[in-house]
């Protein structure tokens, strides 16, 4: 069984790139299940109802979020949709679900979304303890568990991978928009990669206009960010899972 996780969609250009590539990848790679991070799809911050519907129209099974979950008020119209999950370690009582369970090829697949606390400027609960509680709660009711850890610090992501090793099918990072080359199967069998990258402008600073980004660093003035234009890139990873053991046997990075 093959599960495709797609890196942060940046703006409408990212959605267009998703539309141009996803169907081909599903066919070429025999993909069974698709997870997309959509928290930057509304021109870099949040997600609108149109963005949400456009992404779902591409046969996407789950959309995960992150630190820009509440970037657009539109989200409250569809926050409880079963195919949308937001970080599970937002404070108790916040609208939406932090994980959900889906069925594919007679398998029950849980997808958990978490947000990091290191350099994220979001007041969230401890992602490690929340992950532990969720896994303990659902482990006997699912076949596979995938974790989208939306975090800044590589150390925090790597620690989460080892923390959940042997307890979940895979842990992958989102948020930094830079695809890492450390895909691996950890000692106890969990698939892991620190960041799966982004889907959006290739000639950019993590999706944003280069000149505006440099000006912010050069002057320290609050130059307004804007989405870069030009060629786009599609980033993601494919987790190849043995259906008899529900363990990851191979991880393939996608960059096109």
Which residue stretches of the chain are H helix? 11-29, 49-56, 127-138, 154-164, 210-219
DSSP state of 93: T
Q: Which of 68, 158, 64 is nearest to 121 (CA)?
A: 68
Q: pLDDT, tens digit, for every residue of 141-152?
A: 999 999 999 999
Q: Say how far apart CA 109 and CA 243 lie, in whole Å.
A: 12
Q: Say how far apart CA 14 and CA 8 lie, in whole Å.
A: 8
Give the contacts of 178 (CB within 8 A, at least 6 positions apart): 195, 197, 198, 206
Q: pLDDT, tens digit, for every residue of 188-217?
A: 999 999 999 999 999 999 999 999 999 999
Output the six-digit token pair for 38: 């959509």
Output the six-digit token pair for 68: 């820009």
Q: pLDDT, tens digit, for every residue of 13-22?
A: 999 999 999 9
Bridge partner residues of 179 (DSSP): none
Instruction: State what percent of residues in the chain have pLDDT above 90.
Output: 98
Work out the angle between the directed axes of helices 11-29 and 49-56 (0-180°, nearest 10).
20
Active site annotation includes 150: no
pLDDT of residue 224: 83
The domains found in the chain, sorted by start residue, are 2-255 (3.60.21.10)
Q: Please state the pTM of the whole predicted model.
A: 0.97
Cα 232 to Cα 38, 88, 140, 204: the distances in Å are: 16, 30, 41, 10
Mean of per-residue pLDDT scores for the chain: 97
Asked if the model's pLDDT at residue 225 lies above 90, the reply is no
Asked if the model's pLDDT at residue 223 lies above 90, the reply is no
């Amino acid at each position: 069984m093959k599960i495709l996780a797609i890196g942060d969609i940046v703006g409408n250009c990212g959605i267009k790139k998703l539309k141009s590539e996803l169907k081909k990848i599903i066919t070429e790679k025999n993909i069974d299940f698709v997870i997309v991070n959509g928290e930057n799809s509304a021109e870099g911050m949040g997600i609108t109802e149109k963005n949400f519907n456009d992404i779902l129209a591409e046969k996407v099974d789950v959309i995960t979020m992150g630190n820009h979950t509440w970037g657009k008020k539109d989200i409250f119209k569809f926050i409880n949709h079963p195919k949308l999950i937001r970080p599970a370690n937002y404070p108790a009582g916040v609208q939406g679900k932090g994980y959900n369970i889906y069925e594919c090829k007679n398998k029950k697949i849980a997808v958990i979304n978490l947000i990091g606390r290191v350099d994220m400027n979001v007041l969230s609960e401890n992602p490690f303890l929340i992950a532990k509680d969720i896994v303990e709660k659902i482990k006997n009711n699912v076949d596979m568990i995938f974790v989208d850890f939306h975090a800044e610090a590589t150390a925090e992501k790597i620690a989460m991978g080892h923390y959940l090793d042997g307890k979940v099918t895979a842990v992958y990072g989102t948020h930094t928009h830079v695809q890492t080359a450390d895909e691996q199967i950890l000692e106890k069998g969990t698939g892991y990669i620190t960041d799966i990258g982004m889907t959006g402008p290739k000639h950019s600073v993590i999706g944003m206009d280069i000149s505006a980004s440099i000006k912010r660093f050069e002057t320290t003035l609050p130059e307004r960010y804007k989405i870069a234009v030009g060629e786009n890139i599609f980033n993601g990873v494919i987790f190849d899972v043995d259906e008899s053991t529900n363990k990851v046997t191979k991880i393939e990075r996608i960059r096109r």
